[in-house]
Amino acid sequence: MNSADVKSYDNTKSWFYTDTVKDHFFNPRNLVKKDDEINVKDYNGVGIVGAAQCGDMMKIWIKVDNNERIKELKWQTFGCASAIASTSMLSVIATENDGMKIEDALKIKPHDIVARLNGLPTRKFHCSVLGDKALRAAINDYFRRTGQNDRIIVEGERIIDKVLKITDKDIEEAVLDGADTFEKVQQRTKIGVQDKTCIPEVEQLIRFYKEKYFG
């Protein structure tokens, strides 16, 4: 059963949180509340995304065994209820059944996390991305520590609209916020209004990010 927990300021809209989301928010799995609760030397990968000053920050520690299974995943965040619940569920997914193999963990999509939570409000879907990105950063750190630099996955920004200097990250964030068509992305970012040569690439990126995050 779902229940409305949060309403908009004008009471015209409600956000619905599932019982699973509320369970992982009130009883988060594998959460590190204080730094002295964890011995970082026991973990061979750490990933950090965001910044506490901006209100969204995620830190993940992973312990990977000799068979490249994630035996433990601990995390810490400054984020909302959806971010907490999403990362709690991510920690379960990555460590259940004797631990997920690294190669499989890299295939986890925010869509998979949201499905296990039995859904998130559309406006809160982007919260599931924090843990996903922090996990990939932790896995990259594991690759560095074990001398597997050729397996590191580089994620950077690339300018798509040469006139307005709009990047692929801007498009990604627009899609995560619900802009699922070119028209919606353009309305949000103004991409392609002046630099029309970028439109085919924008449409391709929209399809890519929709598949990546929503399946």
Q: Which residues contact 68 (CB under 8 A, 6 or more apart)?
A: 101, 102, 103
- The values of phi and psi at residue 136, to 5°, are -65, -35
Q: Is 198 a catalytic residue?
A: no
Rounded CA gap, 76 and 114, in Å? 19
Helix (H) or strand (E) holding 161: strand 159-161
Q: Is 127 a catalytic residue?
A: yes
Catalytic residue, chosen from 54, 97, 147, 154, is 54
Rounded CA gap, 23 and 188, in Å? 34
Catalytic residue, chosen from 70, 127, 175, 191, is 127
Q: Which of 106, 108, 42 is nearest to 71 (CA)?
A: 42
Enumerate the active-site residues: 54, 127
